[in-house]
Amino acid sequence: MGVSMDQVLDDLMAETEVLRELIADLDDTGISASTPAAGWTVRDQLTHLAYFDETATQAAVDPAAFRRDAEALLAGGMDFPDRVAAEHAKLPAADVRAWFARARTELVAVFRGLEPKARLPWYGPDMSALSSATARLMETWAHGQDVADTLGRDREPTDRLRHIAHLGVRTTAFSFALNGKPAPSVPIRVELDAPSGDRWAWGPDAAEDRVAGTALDFCLAVTQRRHLDDTALRVTGPVAAEWLSIAQTFAGAPGTGRAPLSATTQPGGPS
């Protein structure tokens, strides 16, 4: 999948505008509403994005300072996203929106000047600047899904999902390692129907382990926003099945996923 930094950042800003529209009219009560991520409010979703936009920018402009700050944050445990959310749990809605807008604008400005292959530190393995920007897009879309679910709003799927789907495939080995498992030696074929009607594919065509379905369902699964049972994905083979049970595109501790919608009143689980 050959994309430029500008393409990713343009799509990041388009996804940002979708989220900004969702939260534009929320007052302090609305932004305090509980989301499907257990224990997290809409405010927590947004301050999470703003905080880690700022640290991604720091990783680009001052990697040594980022490493020091990340080491201190990780020293407190792998629940650091929850601790970050708790630290900002009383911010008024207007301040949350302003912080998110400011942090996102600065991040995009900095990343437009980066070499896509430049290596940047993060809370897991180092990654390229292009992958870091893609991760910010994935996070925006995933946390935006929690906000949309909370507000009872539907978002129109777009071909921006390809960035997230690609990251989902690229993080296969990471997902296994995060759960203490060796990377699979068996290839997996992924075939997805794009919102535009195109077909996206990864992996050898002859692979016996396969995942097929819509790009939307795949992205919901690998970002752990829906239980696999609540998607129409077709999973063939034991390796593909194990992967989809632990697939995770985000850094941090292994996610526990979401309960099936049939078992709860709303999508539940970690942020």
At 263, is the pLDDT very low, low, confident or very high (cuts 50, 70, 90)?
Answer: low
Chain segment 171-207, per-residue pLDDT in tens: 999 999 999 999 999 999 999 999 999 999 999 999 9
For residue 1, name the pLDDT band (cuts at 50, 70, 90). Answer: low
Residues 97-133 have pLDDT tens digits of: 999 999 999 999 999 999 999 999 999 889 999 999 9
Are the C-beta atoms of residues 54 and 117 closer than 8 Å to each other?
no
Task: Give the model confidence (pLDDT) of 221-261 as tens digits.
Answer: 999 999 999 999 999 999 999 999 999 999 888 888 899 98
Strand order in the sheet with 209-214: 199-202, 188-193, 209-214, 234-236
Residue 265 has pLDDT above 50, yes or no: no
Task: Report which residue type is found at 242.
Answer: E
* pLDDT band for position 267 (cuts 50, 70, 90): very low
Q: pLDDT tier at 2 (50, 70, 90 boundaries)? A: confident
Residue pair 93/46 in contact by the 8 Å Cβ criterion: no
52 — phi, psi (to 5°)?
-80, -15
